């Protein structure tokens, strides 16, 4: 069927409440092989002031109606119309409550979109955010329609001994024919996107948690049969999250049970359904032999994030999907703060900023740009973006920077108190901080509506005679499409004036922009701050902790920058300043690939990197970050036009060899000192030491061209982190050699029955930094373990190739683009959401040199002409071509 109906455009300004108010939901879900029967009873009432003849319009998606009754009596055919997408009912009571009984029939086994009710490895499970509930029953499927739910599940006891839904367990018992039932009661009002149901034969672990006020909660984690032994760390992370949210935000858990189910086929990372989180099993299952330190950190983050949603998202939800950052940006901020407290704050901040620059900056600087609160969308699934999540988290962080830690906490307390049980807006959120602190955040609010990354130019001038430092700050924002300038933001600039002893000086501020404590509030386009009584000339450290999501241009001498890279008491800035120096040098080298005589990095910068890396007084994880070069994607973004990925790769690789040569002695020492402990521990300190030793291994291999140390490490490794790091060196630096091939084969052989390890095997080969990697991935499509039906597997091979292999995806002959576009077309038929996500990897196509640009455009245009393309993929492709 040729589809011409690209869904309509939904606009923020069109928001209005529903005509009918929902009071309660009661569902019975009967599960059978090959079908599910869903009976839903809604208790509804016409909203006051709504016309008596207004019809009730319910959302559906690929549904069949098999029964409809009003107050227990069948609704006559002439008073309703039902299509797969919509159920419209006329002649409903003008006043008072009434009940509607809606029966639908669906086939979970045929649901390849993994939205709504589907089967994953035999287990029935649901995913309803954002609009999946309408694939289960006809409903007012929008986040401002809240109700308590009572859910009865019936299934065959042998196939599905475990029956779970939201809330607290109420009843269970036997039924004839080997079937049984369970009833779950969720007393908290919730929107339909938080509905969940799981049924299947699962293993589980349980633990008790007592909340701060003494309430006992039973925690459960459910996994596939035989894998529950890998859930212990997730359980530990859950208890630490619950404890932290009580201490840091005063938030306690509210139900008697909290359950997590780990599922192999899942579109996203995890989902915060009330009392029943459903997780991609990648974010639950771990052991030292199959998971890396990064995987452990990822599990901790995702467990915390979904748990924290119980207050930021569930108890207080979003009025509409335009307010998505109200729950997602805020909850990312909360999980980042949790990780900072659990691990190292500086290292966490470096990780978050790297992520922001890798994903959000390119999005904000390309055709998929949109405000943190979008004004319109065609497909809401495409707005779970780095901008909503990561920039959204940065906006919350800026509020905390502007108000200070106590002021921020008071605002949050007011938000929880004032809006508990509400579907709220960004305006509601901001008003709480204004009311709690007296601050005026009206200019700040512009960050939510104005897209784009502002630039911040900082200049300084020193007057030796009077000991006065004058700092100039200037912001600019070029608005993508219109080309005009935006309105100035309120930019909080955290700063310090560093003395030659490495300590911040205490100085007097004469006048200029408002300064509170260590924060300059830049509110005009251009402002000046004058510092007096400075004494000796200081080193100016600005934008500490990356206090605002801007691109910084600080006119500062190389010697000042190198001094700060050594001395700045703000560890984040020490890293940032060095990282900027390296990135600028690599940008210059990539721009001018013929310039072979000069080294890719000036000697002073190499020495500075090695100085940081060799500083034993600093934690190992930080030293590993100091050694990590900017990604090739980051260099491409900074180049902004005429990008040649081969030139970038050559520059980065030359820098890697140079650092490896100059630092050989240090790297040997680091490796020698990193003797692994007898027993593996995933704690941050041990992980940091492994990270540092593995970076050292990479540099040594780059410098020597000798695979032997990596081979030896591969063979000796007693945990996945060290094994995978060694394998990556072999496969990426020595592709096709006997050493690489043998190690890859060994890795596959020992991983064969663990899908998560097989994913690592696919992803590693997809990221060989060579245009010829396309042949490898193309070949792997035919591997017996490859399937388009498991999102993790698709992401491991196709997503990783397009998103992380710059040289091969952006091949000059366009073959990378064509191959990925073909995969998108195939996948789009099964799972549009995942296909659309992969299509976003084209987003920076215009910044490449002419030949690649033409090839990318051709691939995108060909994609957009495919008849029957999903709304999801069509939206991304269409906007990318704009």
Query: Of the two residues 357 and 852, which places its CB atom closer to ligand BES in the complex?
Result: 357
Q: Does 874 bind ligand BES (CB under 6 A)?
A: no
Q: Taking CB within 5 to 8 Å according to partner kind, which of ligand BES, Zn ion, none is near residue 301? A: ligand BES
Hey, which residues between 501 and 530 contact ligand BES (CB under 6 A)?
A: none
Residue of closest CB approach to ligand BES: 269
Tell me which of 104, 301, 344, 790 binds ligand BES, using CB under 6 A.
301
Q: Does 270 bind ligand BES (CB under 6 A)?
A: yes
Q: Does 602 bind ligand BES (CB under 6 A)?
A: no
Query: Of the two residues 269 and 878, which places its CB atom closer to ligand BES in the complex?
Result: 269
Q: What are phi and psi of 175, to 5 degrees?
A: -130, 165
Three-class secondary structure assignment of 549-601: CCEEEECCCHHHHHHHHHHCCCHHHHHHHHHHHHHHHHHHHHHCCCCCCCCCC
Number of Cβ atoms within 10 Å of the Cβ of 829:
13
Number of Cβ atoms within 10 Å of the Cβ of 53:
9
Tell me which of 131, 265, 306, 875 binds ligand BES, using CB under 6 A.
306
List residues bridging with 210 in a β-sheet.
216
Hey, which residues between 308 and 367 contact Zn ion (CB under 5 A)?
A: 328, 331
Q: Taking CB within 5 to 8 Å according to partner kind, which of Zn ion, ligand BES, none is near residue 202? A: none
Answer yes or no: are the C-beta atoms of 476 and 545 closer than 8 Å.
no
Angle at 572 between CA 571 and CA 573, to 5 degrees: 90
Cα gap 641→366, rounded to integer Å: 12
Number of Cβ atoms within 10 Å of the Cβ of 610:
19
- Is 208 annotated as catalytic? no
Query: Of the two residues 191 and 600, which places its CB atom closer to ligand BES in the complex?
Result: 191
Residue 645 token pair: 């990925």
> What is the pattern of x (binds ligand BES, CB under 6 A) and - over residues 384-403?
x----x--------------
Helix (H, G, I), strand (E, B) or coil at 65: strand
Q: Does 130 bind ligand BES (CB under 6 A)?
A: yes
Query: Of the two residues 389 and 747, which places its CB atom closer to ligand BES in the complex?
Result: 389
Cα gap 827→843, rounded to integer Å: 19
Least distance CB 271 / ligand BES (angstroms) = 5
Least distance CB 180 / ligand BES (angstroms) = 30
Q: Taking CB within 5 to 8 Å according to partner kind, which of Zn ion, ligand BES, none is near residue 821? A: none
Query: Of the two residues 140 and 270, which places its CB atom closer to Zn ion in the complex?
Result: 270
What lies within 8 Å, CB to CB, of 609 at 6+ separation is 578, 582, 626, 627, 659, 663
Number of residues this chain uses to bind ligand BES (CB under 6 A):
16
DSSP string, 2-53: ------PPEEGGG----SEEEEEEEEEEEEETTEEEEEEEEEEEEPTT--TT
Query: Of the two residues 131 and 722, which places its CB atom closer to ligand BES in the complex?
Result: 131
Tell me which of 151, 217, 271, 654 binds ligand BES, using CB under 6 A.
271
Tell me which of 61, 186, 272, 634 binds ligand BES, using CB under 6 A.
272
Among residues 131, 224, 272, 306, which one is catalytic? 306
Helix (H, G, I), strand (E, B) or coil at 97: strand
Least distance CB 376 / ligand BES (angstroms) = 18
Q: Taking CB within 5 to 8 Å according to partner kind, which of Zn ion, ligand BES, none is near residue 130? A: ligand BES
Residue 881 token pair: 């071509």
Least distance CB 125 / ligand BES (angstroms) = 13
> What is the pattern of x (binds ligand BES, CB under 6 A) and - over residues 313-352?
---------------x---x--------------------
Cα torsion through 400, 402, 405, 408, rounded to 10? -60
Answer yes or no: are the C-beta atoms of 763 and 800 closer than 8 Å.
yes
> What is the pattern of x (binds ligand BES, CB under 6 A) and - over residues 769-788?
--------------------
Tell me which of 274, 309, 315, 359 binds ligand BES, using CB under 6 A.
309
Cα gap 546→349, rounded to integer Å: 8
Residue 158 token pair: 């042998």
> What is the pattern of x (binds ligand BES, CB under 6 A) and - over residues 410-429?
--------------------
Question: Which region among 66-74, 262-270, 480-488, 712-720 touches ligand BES (by CB under 6 A)?
Answer: 262-270
Least distance CB 362 / Zn ion (angstroms) = 21
Exposure string over 456-466, b if 16+ CB within 10 A, otherwise e: bbbebeeeeee
Q: Does 305 bind ligand BES (CB under 6 A)?
A: yes
Query: Of the two residues 101 and 306, which places its CB atom closer to ligand BES in the complex?
Result: 306
Least distance CB 837 / ligand BES (angstroms) = 10
Q: Does 129 bind ligand BES (CB under 6 A)?
A: yes
| Residue 767 C-beta-side C-alpha neighbours within 13 Å | 20
Q: Taking CB within 5 to 8 Å according to partner kind, which of ligand BES, Zn ion, none is near residue 271? A: ligand BES
Positive/negative CA dihedral, 154, 159, 164, 170: positive
Contacts made by residues 335-341, CB under 8 angstroms, sequence distance 24+: 335/301, 335/304, 335/305, 335/308, 336/393, 336/397, 337/248, 338/241, 338/244, 338/248, 338/301, 338/304, 338/308, 339/297, 339/300, 339/301, 339/304, 341/244, 341/248
Query: Of the two residues 192 and 331, which places its CB atom closer to Zn ion in the complex?
Result: 331
Hey, which residues between 633 and 652 contact ligand BES (CB under 6 A)?
A: none
Query: Of the two residues 227 and 355, which places its CB atom closer to ligand BES in the complex?
Result: 355
Cα gap 580→585, rounded to integer Å: 9
Q: Does 292 bind ligand BES (CB under 6 A)?
A: no
Q: Taking CB within 5 to 8 Å according to partner kind, which of Zn ion, ligand BES, none is near residue 268? A: ligand BES
Angle at 528 between CA 581 and CA 488, to 5 degrees: 80
Q: Does 282 bind ligand BES (CB under 6 A)?
A: no
Answer yes or no: are the C-beta atoms of 24 and 53 closer than 8 Å.
no
In 265-400, at which residue ranges do the beta strands (DSSP E only) sit? 270-271, 276-280, 317-318, 376-377
Least distance CB 384 / Zn ion (angstroms) = 8
Q: Does 68 bind ligand BES (CB under 6 A)?
A: no
Cα gap 397→423, rounded to integer Å: 22
Query: Of the two residues 123 and 324, which places its CB atom closer to Zn ion in the complex?
Result: 324
Which chain residues interact with ligand BES by CB under 6 A? 129-130, 268-272, 301-302, 305-306, 309, 328, 332, 384, 389
Give catalytic residues, as residue numbers.
306
Where on the chain is the footprint of Zn ion (CB under 5 A)? 328, 331
């Amino acid at each position: 069927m040729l589809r011409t109906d690209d869904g309509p455009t939904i606009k923020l300004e069109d928001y209005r409440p529903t005509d009918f108010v929902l009071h309660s939901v009661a569902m019975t879900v009967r599960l059978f092989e090959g079908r599910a029967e869903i009976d839903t009873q809604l208790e509804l009432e016409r909203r006051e002031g709504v016309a008596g003849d207004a019809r009730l319009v319910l959302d559906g998606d690929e549904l069949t109606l098999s029964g409809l009754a009003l107050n227990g009596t069948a609704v006559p055919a002439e008073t309703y119309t039902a299509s797969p997408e919509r159920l419209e009912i006329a002649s409903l009571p003008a006043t008072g409550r009434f009940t509607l009984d809606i029966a639908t029939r669906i086939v979970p086994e045929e649901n390849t979109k993994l939205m709504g009710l589907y089967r994953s490895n035999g287990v029935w499970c649901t995913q309803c955010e954002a609009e999946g509930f309408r694939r289960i029953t006809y409903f007012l499927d929008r986040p401002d329609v809240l109700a308590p739910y009572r859910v009865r599940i019936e299934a065959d006891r042998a196939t599905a001994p475990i029956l779970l839904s939201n809330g607290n367990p109420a009843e269970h018992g036997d039924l004839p024919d080997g079937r049984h039932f369970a009833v779950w009661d969720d007393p908290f009002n919730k929107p339909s996107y938080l509905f969940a149901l799981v049924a299947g034969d699962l293993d589980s672990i349980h633990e008790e948690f007592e909340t701060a006020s003494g309430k006992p909660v039973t925690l459960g984690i459910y996994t596939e049969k035989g894998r529950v032994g890998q859930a212990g760390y997730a359980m530990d992370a859950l208890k630490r999250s619950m404890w932290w949210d009580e201490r840091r935000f005063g938030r306690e858990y509210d139900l008697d049970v909290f359950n997590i189910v780990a599922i192999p086929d899942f579109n996203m990372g995890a989902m915060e359904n009330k009392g029943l989180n459903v997780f991609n099993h990648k974010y639950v299952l771990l052991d030292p032999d199959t998971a890396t330190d990064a995987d452990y950190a990822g599990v901790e983050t995702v467990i915390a994030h979904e748990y924290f949603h119980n207050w930021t998202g569930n108890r207080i939800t979003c009025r509409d999907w335009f307010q998505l950052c109200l729950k997602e940006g805020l909850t990312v901020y909360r999980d980042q703060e949790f990780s900072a407290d659990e691990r190292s704050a500086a290292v966490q901040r470096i990780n978050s900023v790297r992520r922001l620059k890798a994903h959000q900056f390119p999005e904000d600087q390309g055709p998929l740009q949109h405000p943190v609160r979008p004004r319109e969308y065609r497909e809401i699934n495409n707005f779970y973006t780095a901008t909503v999540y990561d920039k959204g988290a940065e906006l919350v962080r800026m509020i905390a920077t502007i108000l200070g830690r106590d002021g921020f906490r008071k605002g949050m307390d007011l938000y929880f108190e004032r809006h508990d049980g509400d579907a709220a807006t960004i305006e509601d959120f901001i008003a709480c901080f204004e009311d709690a602190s007296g601050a005026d955040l009206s200019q700040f609010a512009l960050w939510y509506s104005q897209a784009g990354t502002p630039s911040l130019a900082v200049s300084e001038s020193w007057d030796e005679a009077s000991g006065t430092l004058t700092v100039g700050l200037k912001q600019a924002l070029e608005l993508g499409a219109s080309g005009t300038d935006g309105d100035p933001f309120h930019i909080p600039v955290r700063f310090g004036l560093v003395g030659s002893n490495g300590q911040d000086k205490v100085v007097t501020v004469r006048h200029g922009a408002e300064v509170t404590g260590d924060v300059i509030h830049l509110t005009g386009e251009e402002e000046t701050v004058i510092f007096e009584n400075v004494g000796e000339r200081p080193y100016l450290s600005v934008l500490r902790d990356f206090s605002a999501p801007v691109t910084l241009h600080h006119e500062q001498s190389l010697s000042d920058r190198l001094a700060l890279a050594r001395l700045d008491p703000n560890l984040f800035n020490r890293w940032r300043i060095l990282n900027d120096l390296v990135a600028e040098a690599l940008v210059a080298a990539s721009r001018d690939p013929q310039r072979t005589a000069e080294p890719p990095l000036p000697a002073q910068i190499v020495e500075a990197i090695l100085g940081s890396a060799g500083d034993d007084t600093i934690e190992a994880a930080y030293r590993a970050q100091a050694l990590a070069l900017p990604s090739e994607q980051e260099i491409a973004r900074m180049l902004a036009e005429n990008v040649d990925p081969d030139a970038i790769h050559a520059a980065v690789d030359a820098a890697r060899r140079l650092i490896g040569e100059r630092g050989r002695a240090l790297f040997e020492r680091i490796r020698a000192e990193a003797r692994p402990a007898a027993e593996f521990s995933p704690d941050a300190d041990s992980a940091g030491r492994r990270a540092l030793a593995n970076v050292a291994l990479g540099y040594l291999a780059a410098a020597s061209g000798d695979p032997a140390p990596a081979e030896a490490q591969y063979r000796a490794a007693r945990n996945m982190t060290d094994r995978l790091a060694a394998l990556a060196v072999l496969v990426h630096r020595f592709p096709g050699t006997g050493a690489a091939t043998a190690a890859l084969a060994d890795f596959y052989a020992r991983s064969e029955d663990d899908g998560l390890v097989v994913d690592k095997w696919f992803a590693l080969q997809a990221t060989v930094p060579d245009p010829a990697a396309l042949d490898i991935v193309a070949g792997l499509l035919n591997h017996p373990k490859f399937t388009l039906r498991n999102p993790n597997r698709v992401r491991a091979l196709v997503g990783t190739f397009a998103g992380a292999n710059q040289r091969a995806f952006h091949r000059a002959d366009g073959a990378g683009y064509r191959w990925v576009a073909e995969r998108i077309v195939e996948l789009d038929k099964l799972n549009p959401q995942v296909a659309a996500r992969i299509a976003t990897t084209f987003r920076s196509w215009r910044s490449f040199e002419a030949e690649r640009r033409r090839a990318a455009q051709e691939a995108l245009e060909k994609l957009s002409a495919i008849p029957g393309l999903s709304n999801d993929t069509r939206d991304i492709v269409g906007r990318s071509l704009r």
